[in-house]
Amino acid sequence: MPKLIDYDSHRGAVVGALVELVAEGGLAAATLRGVARRSRVSSAALVEGWGGRDRMLGIAAHHFGRRWHDAMWVRFDSRGLAGLLPRDDDERGETRFWLAMCELARSNEYVRSAIEDRRAEEPRMLDVMTGQTWSRPDLELLRTVLDGLRHSLCTPGPDMSTEQAVHLMETFLGGPRTLAPDRPGTPDGT
């Protein structure tokens, strides 16, 4: 009789393996064989229970996305807005995975639906966290700045410290919230 596998019990191990692999080697490292080896779940069980690589990435993006947003609230509660930026290797690894899933959502329908749900929540979350009433374009701009700072903290090249990124975010939040130049005839543009 075939052994029944509880796929839900493997979810944490599979998602954890995917996060580690992507953090270390990008999406190319997220192979079924690599996930199987890292999670100690057979490749056959991954295909049978998760439906192959694309669907596995979609399930992982959904599962991780919920964890990611919960973690953002916890980090915000303890560190304020600075908690939205990664400060150590573990948080950088998770951020790399999140950014990779956001990029993969462009071409993978399974990942797209998971990421769209989470990304749709972000403006409201940022509005609550900043304690201000922002316009939708300003919230989108803040999210873009935050994504850019996260990207800068997680990619090779000239090192940016978390402290530098926090300073840049604070500078952005303290300045005007528009990139549009003042128009003549307006109160600010005379």
Average the pLDDT over 133-148 and give the result: 89
Res 8: pLDDT = 62
| pLDDT over 60 (residue 179) | no
Q: pLDDT digits over 144-163, tens only?
A: 999 999 999 998 777 888 89
Q: pLDDT digits over 48-61, tens only?
A: 888 888 989 999 99
Res 186: pLDDT = 46
Instruction: Return the half-sphere exposure (C-beta side, CA atoms, 13 A cut-off) of residue 20.
Output: 12
Q: Are 61 and 101 in contact (CB under 8 A)?
A: yes
In 10 A of CB 144, how many CB atoms?
10
Ordered structural domains, the chain, with CATH: 7-174 (1.10.357.10)
pLDDT band at 6 (very low <50, low <70, confident <90, very high): low
| Alpha-carbon gap, residue 162 to 168, rounded angstroms | 10
pTM of the full structure: 0.82
8-state DSSP, 184: T
Residue 84: which of 149, 20, 138 has the closest Cα? Answer: 149
75-to-29, 83, 85, 124, 126 alpha-carbon distances in Å = 28, 5, 9, 17, 13
Average the pLDDT over 5-11 and give the result: 64
Res 4: pLDDT = 41
Residue count of the chain, please give it: 190
